[in-house]
Amino acid sequence: MRPILCVFSVTAALVSSRRDGDPPFTEKFFSQVVDHFNFNSLGNATFNQRYLITDRFWKKSFGPIFFYTGNEGDIWEFALNSGFILELAAQQEALVIFAEHRYYGRSLPFGNQSFSIPEVGLLTVEQALADYALMITELKLQLAAAQSPVIVFGGSYGGMLSVYMRLKYPNIVAGALAASAPILSTAGFGDPRQFFRDVTAVSLGEQIRLKRPVACDTMLGGSDLLTNLRDTAGTEPALGLWKHFKNCEGLADSLQRCFVPAGMVYNSSGLLPCFDLYRLYLGVGCHDDRSRRFFLQACTEIEMCYESNNVTDMFPPMTFTQEARQLYCSKRWGVQPRPGWLRIQFWGDDLSTASNIIFSNGDLDPWANGGVRNSLSPSLIAINISDGAHHLDLRGSNAADPESVVKARKMEAELIALQRGNKLGQDNAK
């Protein structure tokens, strides 16, 4: 049986011209501290951290700052797919900054040696958050923006970082929009079978909703799943799918290894990207540098402890064990995981005393149930989007957007206006 991996600086004068078709951003580099927490190892050594910025809509010195907490990838990828932030900036006269996560894109603390051991050891959530806190603080000084409240945005892992920024640096961040942020499941909460069960429900359910044929003759042996669907039709996780598959002998062979641990997007066009987790875990082929970097993070702090059983999901049985995780992480990266660390550092599921965070999740997103689905207080608001895919609400408006997504963006805009207003009110009262 195959195991499954749990799962005061000055901006440098390095500016590249904007590319045709890109949003109205200028690409810059910030002189960032390599190690925020050890004064002996590297002293005040710095590296060039990339960020994108536009003041096209900004009411200078007073308008808010919308700051995207970059996640696992090239920052242009997120800027090009988060048009809602620009639309909102136009409405609320905001400065927009997209910051690139250390060790991704062109933000490499040790250049070509960044992924060697021990240099790669500074790829942590805590270091990334400190990067963003320092960047925000220094850019506000440079831009004479002391009165500008900062709202952080992020999707998926980036959404997790937005939540953490509000929790850890409330003196710097006034509010957060965390889209599709699985902050609970990645801290080790919940049923480890939830993810693959939801992938199954979403992918098969959407094919049916879109009236697309299901290739039953090519499906992987899934008699246990089909029996379960037959016996539990109309209940979770079957979702009434049995009637659509009662003539099938199995489930799609092409989905046997279909899993995207760090950036799955299932949208209304039926896209279900594949990621070969088995080969990744065995350390051979079928994964890129970005995936390898994120799996280091899954070896240290982020818990991606998902298993499948071919009963409640369409995947081959894969049993998670901490021993398997430790073996892989020790062999590949020379580290041992610290289960439960995110719970200690970032409040776990006890978030009720936090404030000014929006948690948005779409029902077409397998990551959704690993996040916050119910509002926890008047300022910890959960927005559930019936026709929403993985952080679809962060994308720019489109004529094909479901009404639920349009309504979600409108509500998010209103709540963000309240967040920045509360911050300004607090500052004026001092």
- The CATH number linked to 106 is 3.40.50.1820
Dihedral pair phi/psi, residue 151, rounded to 5°: -115, 125
Query: pTM of the predicted model, to two decimals?
Result: 0.82
Are 40 and 159 contained in the same domain?
A: yes
Give residue 427's pLDDT.
55
Tell me, what's the pLDDT at 264? 42
The per-residue pLDDT for range 282-313, each reduced to its tens digit, is 333 334 566 678 889 999 999 988 888 888 88
Residue 393 has pLDDT above 60, yes or no: yes
8 assigned to some structural domain: no
Residue 391 annotated among the catalytic residues of the structure: no
Same domain, 229 and 136: no
* Same-domain check for residues 170 and 266: no
Does 7 reside within a domain? no
- The answer to whether position 3 is within a domain reads no
Segment among 250-264, 332-346, 402-416 with least mean pLDDT = 250-264
pLDDT band, residue 426 (cuts 50/70/90): low
Domain end marker among 305, 333, 361: 333
Q: Calculate mean pLDDT across residues 237-263.
A: 37
The mean per-residue pLDDT over the stretch 250-263 comes to: 35
Does 426 or 173 have the greater pLDDT score? 173
Q: Are 35 and 166 within one domain? A: yes
Residues 39 and 140 in one domain: yes
Q: Are residues 92 and 144 in the same domain?
A: yes
- 212 and 270 fall within a common domain: yes
Q: Does 134 map to a domain?
A: yes
- Smallest CA-to-CA distance from 323 within 311, 339, 312 is with 339
pLDDT tens, residue by residue, 67-79: 999 999 999 999 9
pLDDT band at 412; cut points 50, 70, 90: very high
Q: Cβ(100)–Cβ(66) under 8 Å?
A: no
**Does the structure show a pLDDT above 80 at 278?**
no
Whether 35 is a known active-site residue: answer no
Classify residue 140: in a domain, yes or no. yes
Q: 122 is written with which tokens?
A: 């500074």
Write the pLDDT tens digit of every residue in 8-32: 333 333 333 344 455 589 999 999 9
Q: Does residue 335 contact residue 341 with C-beta atoms inside 8 Å?
A: no
Domain identity same for 54 and 153 = yes
Identify whether 19 is part of a domain. Answer: no
| Within-domain flag for 1 | no
**71 and 181: one domain?**
yes
Domain that holds residue 259: 193-333
Q: What is the pLDDT of residues 108-162, one digit of tens each?
A: 999 999 999 999 999 999 999 999 999 999 999 999 999 999 999 999 999 999 9
Res 328: pLDDT: 86
Q: Are residues 46 and 164 in the same domain?
A: yes
> Is position 365 annotated as part of the catalytic site?
yes
pLDDT interval class at 66 (50, 70, 90): very high
- Indicate whether 154 and 220 sit together in one domain: no
Percent of the chain beyond pLDDT 70?
A: 72
Residue 430, domain member (yes or no): no
Count: domains in the chain? 2
Q: Which of 365, 391, 393, 401 is catalytic?
A: 365
| Lowest mean per-residue pLDDT among 196-210, 299-313, 402-416 | 196-210
Active site residue: 101, 287, 390, 391, which one? 390
Q: Are residues 131 and 213 in the same domain?
A: no
Give the residue from 302, 333, 364 where a domain finishes: 333
Final residue of a structural domain among 301, 316, 333: 333
Task: Catalytic residue, from 156, 162, 180, 203: name it.
Answer: 156
